[in-house]
Structure 1
């Protein structure tokens, strides 16, 4: 199990830093935009496209982080009433569904990134496909984190 835990620990810390920096940057960017718009009557054009990229990074990487922590949405009140084997079974299904979701996001975003990579984000001039690269990375992390949880479930079941 260590073969997946160590890379996932590194990925978790890296995503945490990127999501945190994205959130801090978004806060600074919004304050800058508000001050420029309402104090100096000179709204910067570049704020909105950068903010959109930062929001995508925060949302997708935050979702991946919560999968690693096991803090994603669940029906705990129902699951806790099940016997231990039932709880393990439901947790296994949950992680298989998360992996299926991650694969669907990966495939869909990869297709969108390929078809929009030649287009440019207005004002920034960056490839439009960049918007879809962020969820691609997040979906890989979600799949890896869910696989780690599944392996941990099977390891507990073997004991």
Structure 2
């Protein structure tokens, strides 16, 4: 399991840092925007597109982090009533579904990123495809974390 656990540990900590910094920057941006708008009557126009990118980072990386921790939405009330083998099979099915979702997100967002890379985000001037690159990275993390959890199910079963 070390072959996947160690790289995923590094990836997990990197995502925690990026998501945490993004949340802090988003909070500061919102405070700055509110103060500028209501105190100085001078609303900065760059805050909204930056905030949107930060929200995408926080949501997508947060989702990946919860997959690693096993904190995603599940039907625990149903699964706990199953016999032990059924619980393992339900967890395996859940992780396979998450991997399938990650693959769909990866290819869908990769196609959107390629399609919109020539367009520019107004005010910022960044390629529009940047919005879709964030879920591409997150989907890879979701797939790796789900694979780790899936492998852990069967390593526990055989030990």
Q: Report how far residue 156 of structure 1 moved.
A: 1.5
Q: What does residue 55 of structure 1 align with?
A: 55
| d(CA) in 1 for partners of 2:97, 2:75 | 14
Q: What does residue 70 of structure 1 align with?
A: 70
Q: Does 1:36 align with 2:33?
A: no
- Structure 1 segment 41-120 matched on structure 2, within 5 A: 41-120=41-120
Q: What does residue 27 of structure 1 align with?
A: 27
Q: Report how far residue 158 of structure 1 moved.
A: 1.8
Stretch moving more, 24-33 or 148-157? 148-157
Aligned length: 159
Q: TM-score, normalising length from structure 1?
A: 0.99
Q: TM-score, normalising length from structure 2?
A: 0.99
| d(CA) in 2 for partners of 1:34, 1:152 | 47
| d(CA) in 2 for partners of 1:156, 1:18 | 31
Q: Report how far residue 107 of structure 1 moved.
A: 0.3
Q: 5+ residue gaps in structure 2?
A: none
Secondary structure at 2:152's aligned position in 1?
helix
Q: Does 1:8 align with 2:8?
A: yes
Stretch moving more, 37-46 or 149-158? 149-158
Q: What does residue 138 of structure 1 align with?
A: 138
| d(CA) in 2 for partners of 1:83, 1:147 | 23
Runs of 4+ residues deviating >4 angstroms: none
